[in-house]
Every structure is written in structure tokens, then in C-alpha cells.
Amino acid sequence: MGGDDLVRAVAIATDQTEDWLGELLPDEFLPLVTAVVEVNADFFVRRVLPALNAATETTLATLGMTPLPSSSPTATAGPESSTTP
């Protein structure tokens, strides 16, 4: 999604014109974007996030890079305490 697409999506969600949104300063536009994402969180989680993850993986593969793991196995593994229930 490019900048124009983002403005268009926010315009639709807020019932404002793209011209009006284009006149906003970034610190005025960002709260609107945040509100649109929050209200439509289920859509973004189901549709946009997987597409974004796939695009990121494709880009990293093109660059010859691999994605970083979400957490290191050695960082999350450790001796278990006998006092831990």
C-alpha cells in the first residue's frame, strides 16, 4: 500500500476528502491512521498482516537475507528451577 492508497483508505473510513487529508500535517494524519487501524484491527490482522509478512519475506529473500527469529531459543531456554511450580 502506497501513500496515496493509505490516504484513500483513511478518506473512505473517515468520510473525509483526500484533498482535506492531504492538507494535514503528519502529526495530525497519524492519529487518524491509528484510529482506522484500531477500528478495523480484525481486518488488518486477518488480511493485511499476512500479506505484509509475505512481502517482507520475499524482499529479504531477494536481498539474500533471512528473517530474524522472533526469539532466540537460547534466550528463552534455561534451567528450570526446582522451586518454580
Percent of residues, the chain, with pLDDT higher than 90 = 35
Q: Rounded to a whole number, what is the largest CA-CA distance in the chain?
A: 64
Helices (H), the chain: 3-14, 18-22, 26-39, 41-43, 49-62, 73-76
User: What is the predicted pLDDT for the residue at 40?
Assistant: 85
Distance (Å, whole) CA 26 – CA 67: 30
Residue 45 has pLDDT above 60, yes or no: yes
User: What would the pLDDT profile of 51-60 be if each residue is shown by its tens digit?
Assistant: 888 888 888 8
